């Protein structure tokens, strides 16, 4: 039986940091199977998690000083919640893993403790029918597991409530930023070339690129961090406000009073649309948006964004001829 240390080493911490920046994200996994934390007996609880190394690390370190069985499912290096959404953290995999590890011969009881965010992929009654193990959804966060175990399996309302704190939003920003870099580089290059063609010169081109990159950052960094304070429910609308703030700042910093009317209009139309698009993309990282809600928001906002960007580009082109 593989024995698991509950102490996170420097390599684990740098690994987590790299993953947060999108480096080697899909190769950060541990072999699925049954692991022993401390010296578990046939009576000790079985905690189930995903084989994304960051999930596994968080769970094992939260169980320091305890005797627990850790059943790691094959989710192909994807975290519990996303894997549950895809069905890999699911009924079939639990039944398969329970059999493959001969869990029924190792423990005397017939209980599995699952993370609450695994529930979208698991039908507890099916697991019971097919494996003989009953499922308890213990807590949402691994950090609450010790208290759950200490109280003999009581899930307090706080332990089952999703949050989206500033810190929780902040750790999501780097990987989003890395994801936005490639399309941003393509668009920025195109803008620079367009500016040269329209006779804006290298300085004009750089100014255009800076305005665009700022709008991207307003959507990718500022909007997620300021999420609860930006007006509106929709993420795109919140992005518009972040983008408008950026545009105003850029207008003041880059001598906007000397811009012509078409250029000013172009900036205030297109830049907030760029921020809105990136902010809308953050719905995928959030903990409270719904599929129907995002669909509705996309139906309303994508045509508006497209029109605003197109109008902005036309105005910019027109402005260069006046």
Partner 1 sequence: MKGFRYLEGVATLELSPEACIGCGRCVEVCPHQVFVLEGKLSRIVDLDVCMECGACAKNCPTAAIRVDAGVGCATGLINEWLRERKIRQVGKGCCS
> Which residues lie near partner 1 (CB under 8 A)?
26, 78-79, 81-82, 84-85, 116-117, 119-125, 137, 140, 155, 157, 160-164, 179, 227-228, 233-235, 280-281, 283-284, 286-298
The minimum distance between CB 66 and partner 1, in angstroms, equals 23
Which residue is listed with tokens 């541990």?
Answer: 30
Q: Of 218 and 316, which has the nearer Cβ to partner 1?
A: 218
Q: Of 169 and 208, which has the nearer Cβ to partner 1?
A: 169
CA gap 191, 88 in Å, rounded:
42
Q: Of 124 and 248, which has the nearer Cβ to partner 1?
A: 124
CA gap 78, 30 in Å, rounded:
11
**Residue 68: strand, helix, or coil:** strand
Tokens found for residue 83: 């894997």
The minimum distance between CB 236 and partner 1, in angstroms, equals 9
- Strands 68-73 and 33-37 come out as antiparallel
Tokens found for residue 302: 């994508």
The minimum distance between CB 183 and partner 1, in angstroms, equals 9
The minimum distance between CB 290 and partner 1, in angstroms, equals 4
Q: Of 86 and 110, which has the nearer Cβ to partner 1?
A: 86
When computed from its CA atoms, the radius of gyration of the chain, rounded to whole angstroms, is 25
Which CA distances in Å does 308 have to 8, 89, 152?
A: 49, 41, 57
Q: Of 135 and 208, which has the nearer Cβ to partner 1?
A: 135
The minimum distance between CB 107 and partner 1, in angstroms, equals 22
CA nearest 187: which of 6, 313, 49?
A: 313
């Amino acid at each position: 039986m593989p024995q698991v240390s509950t102490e996170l080493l420097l390599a684990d911490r740098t690994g987590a940091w790299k993953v947060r920046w999108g480096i080697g994200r899909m190769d950060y996994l541990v072999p699925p199977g049954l692991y022993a934390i401390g010296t578990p007996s046939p009576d000790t609880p079985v905690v189930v998690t995903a084989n994304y190394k960051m999930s596994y690390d968080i769970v094992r370190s939260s169980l320091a000083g305890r005797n627990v069985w850790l059943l790691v499912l094959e989710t192909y290096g994807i975290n519990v919640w996303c894997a549950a959404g895809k069905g890999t953290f699911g009924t079939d995999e639990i039944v398969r893993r329970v059999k493959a590890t001969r869990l029924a011969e190792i423990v005397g009881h017939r209980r599995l403790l699952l993370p609450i965010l695994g529930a979208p992929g698991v039908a507890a009654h099916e697991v019971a029918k097919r494996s003989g193990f009953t499922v308890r959804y213990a807590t949402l966060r691994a950090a609450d597991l010790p208290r759950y175990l200490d109280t003999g399996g009581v899930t307090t309302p706080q332990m089952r409530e999703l949050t989206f704190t500033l810190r929780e939003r902040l750790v999501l920003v780097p990987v989003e930023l890395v994801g936005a870099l490639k399309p941003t580089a393509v668009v920025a290059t195109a803008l620079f070339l367009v500016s040269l063609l329209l006779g804006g010169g290298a300085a004009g081109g750089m100014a255009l690129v800076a305005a665009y990159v700022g709008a991207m950052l307003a959507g990718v960094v500022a909007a997620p961090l300021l999420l609860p304070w930006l007006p509106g429910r929709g993420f795109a609308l919140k992005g518009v406000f972040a983008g408008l703030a950026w545009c105003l700042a850029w207008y003041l910093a880059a001598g906007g009073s000397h811009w012509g009317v078409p250029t000013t209009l172009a900036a205030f139309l297109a830049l907030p649309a760029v921020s809105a698009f990136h902010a809308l993309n953050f719905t995928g990282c959030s903990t409270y948006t719904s599929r129907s809600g995002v669909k509705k928001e996309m139906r309303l906002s994508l045509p508006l964004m497209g029109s605003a960007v197109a109008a902005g580009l036309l105005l910019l082109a027109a402005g260069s001829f006046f």
